[in-house]
Amino acid sequence: MQAFKQGVFYQIYPRSFKDSNGDGIGDIRGIIQKLDYLVSLGIKYVWLSPVYASPNVDFGYDISDYLSINPEYGTMADMDQLIKEGKKRGIHFVMDLVMNHTSSDHAWFKASLDPNSPYRDYYYHRPGKGKKLPNNWTSFFGEKAWSKNEDGTYYLHLFAQNQPDLNWDHPNMYNEFKHIIEFWLKKGIAGFRCDVVNVMYKTSLDNGKPRLFLKGLEKYHSTQKNHEILRRIRKELIEPYGAFLVGETVMVNTQQANDLLGNESEKELDMVFGFEHMDADQFLVKWFKRKFNPDKFNRILIQWQKDLPWNANYFENHDQPRSVSRYGSAHYHKESAKMLSTVLLTLKGSPFIYQGQEIGMTNVDYKSLDEYMDVETKNIWALAKKLWIPKFYRWHMIKTVSRDNARSPMQWDSMGGFSTGKPWLRINHNQKKINVAIQENDGDSILSYYKRLIKIRQQHPALIEGDFVPLIAKKGVFAYHRVLNNQKILVVSNMSTKYRKIKLNMDGEILLQNYPPMEMKRLRPYEARVIEVTHDQV
Ligand code: ISL
Ligand code: CA
């Protein structure tokens, strides 16, 4: 079993994790200061969202130089030290690799604006069609997918207009990224999280067929050449370093996800972040929320557990609202945060904890649009306004879905503890109640629960290598076994506010539960239990 499958992952959004120099912006030296905290949590791998040079239109996912560090976050020497200090503590770093696009500030793009430049075809520069754009594609951020150059031609961007798409048909493109990938592997990183890795090869620029969202998707979604590029990267670059790839794969079902893992002879990714479970509370697109349906959520999780050999399990990240706000309950804040962690850390696959999730950080409490900084949020507000969506509903959309819900600074103590300066994004006012300092000294806190749960995971091979055997997924109750040889662990959770009777043999040693022990045949609201089933009940 590959080494990474033993460890728990933690995602750091560097801008909001810890500021070491008082400018209100998280930085690499701040992360170094918190490595011992991550050790105390039981973390083995850290996925670091981009720290490369960037004009911050998409806060790092618009890269202007893959081989230098955004000065706001520090220096390359800081980065080298972070990797070294991490290694000393048994913590390995996974860098964020954005191959679909660069920033429009990247030297390649600037050169490509000259039609005679050898960099011209690093991107998709195309003439309009009369008064029309080169095609009818729309972007992930709710805009048109083309923006105009000074010379009257247009360039393609599936994301913000400052994120021009790279042309992977260009003969140099592979070697450009070969150099970047090897540069970082030589620094001793463990692998890469690959951003929107299944849209990077466009088979044509023809008009897309009519669809509500992402017109043009079928021209670039998980294309054959995309697979070929991933196989080549894996074989030539990743395997020689014993590294691994976790791909962010948009709009895939489990069949398409498996295809992106490749097969024994032609591997591609080691695991993927899917989005289907994220659909359990949305209507058509992520911006229209409907009541969360825990059974739908759990049945999708079961599908992915059954269909894939190994999953990258996550319930929140820098793009998603906070899971305790979305899937849990404010009234049962502590119980529901602990229940969600119980599921996340006992599913088969690599668990990814997003910074702050381990203390139950919630969606932000911002009062006006100008408190938000996310480009996607601003674009969707403007688009919703253009579509005559009334202001009160636009506000509901933003409050429930904005990516800034997950980007407010980490709450280290009741004064914030994130920075001595004014944070770049306001800290949630509930920092007084929800913070690391309070919880580190409270054996009943969410943080203490995560620490115990991670230890239990490391002590029970069935929770890592064991088979996933679904038992119940109805009325909010989610129950399953993890079985390895004669070790059988029962995980049972109640993802609802109701008391739930369940007909399940729950005898055995209770390894962990989020309520005071009470022998009863029903589950309390948001109750979770991890039970080692004793042999005679096997
Ligand atoms: O969450 C999303 C899918 O509904 C989108 O908001 C998100 O942009 C998409 O999943 C792709 O995300 C990745 O690429 C983007 C960047 O803005 C995101 O932060 C990154 O995770 C462009 O690089
Ligand atoms: Ca700083």
pLDDT in tens, 298-326: 999 999 999 999 999 999 999 999 999 99
The pLDDT of residue 289 is above 90: no
What is the pLDDT, as a whole number, of residue 296?
97
Most informative mutation of 98, 103, 195 for ligand 1 (most atoms within 8 A of CB): 195
pLDDT of residue 535: 64
Q: What is the 3-state secondary structure (H, E, C) of 505-516?
A: CCCCEEEEECCC
Cβ(15) – ligand 1 distance below 6 Å: no
Q: How far is the CA of 515 from the centre of ligand 1 (A)?
A: 36
pLDDT band at 186 (very low <50, low <70, confident <90, very high): very high
Q: State the pLDDT at residue 507.
A: 86
Q: Which atom of ligand 1 approaches the CA of 319 most closely?
A: 1
User: Ligand 1 pocket, 73 CB below 6 A?
Assistant: no
CA-to-CA separations, 402 to 193, 289, 330, 456, 526, in angstroms, rounded: 22, 12, 18, 34, 25
Task: Calculate how far, in angstroms, residue 190's C-alpha sits from the geometric centre of ligand 2.
Answer: 25
Could you say which ligand is closest to the alpha carbon of residue 100? Answer: 1
Residue positions counted in the chain: 538
The confidence band for 536, taking pLDDT boundaries of 50, 70 and 90, is: low
Task: Give the pLDDT score at 143.
Answer: 87
16-25, 97-106, 203-212, 281-290: which has the minimum mean pLDDT? Answer: 281-290
Q: What's the gap in Å between 320 CA and the centre of ligand 2? A: 24
Give me ligand 2 centre to Cα 195, in Å. Answer: 25
Ligand at minimal distance from the CA of 19 is 2
10-14, 196-200, 445-449, 500-504: least confidently modelled range:
500-504
Reading the block at residue 69, the tokens are 């560090």
Residue 490's φ and ψ, nearest 5 degrees, are -100, 130
Distance separating alpha carbons of residues 453 and 468, to the nearest angstrom? 18
User: 87-138, pLDDT tens digit by residue?
Assistant: 999 999 999 999 999 999 999 999 999 999 999 999 999 999 999 999 999 9
pLDDT for the residue 288? 87
**Is residue 211 scored above 80 in pLDDT?**
yes
Angstrom distances, CA of residue 160 to CA of 37, 59, 74, 384: 35, 11, 25, 17
Does the predicted TM-score (pTM) go above 0.85?
yes
Given a cut of 90, whether residue 15 has pLDDT beyond it is yes
Q: How would residue 491 be classed by pLDDT, with cut points 50, 70 and 90?
A: very high
- CB-ligand 1 contact for 98 (6 Å cutoff): yes
Nearest CA to ligand 1 atom 19: 319
Token digits of residue 424: 């770049």
Query: Is the pLDDT at 538 greater than 50, yes or no?
Result: no
Q: Is 286 close to ligand 1, i.e. is its CB under 6 Å away?
A: yes
**Residue for token pair 């949630």:** 428
pLDDT of residue 251 exceeding 90:
yes
pLDDT mean over 405-424 = 95
In sequence order, what DSSP letters do the residues of 163-184 get, joined into one string? SPBB-TTSTTHHHHHHHHHHHH
Residue 537 has pLDDT above 70, yes or no: no
Selection from 534, 454, 452, 536 nearest residue 487 by Cα: 534
Residue 449 Cβ inside 6 Å of ligand 1? The answer reads no
For ligand 1, atom 2: residue with the closest CA? 319
**Residue 282: left (phi > 0), alpha (psi -120 to 50), or beta?**
beta
Mutational test site, ligand 1, from 58, 319, 372, max ligand atoms within 8 Å of CB:
319
Instruction: Compute, in angstroms, the gap from residue 319 CA to the centroid of ligand 1.
Output: 6
Active centre residues (catalytic): 195, 248
Mean model confidence pLDDT for the chain: 96
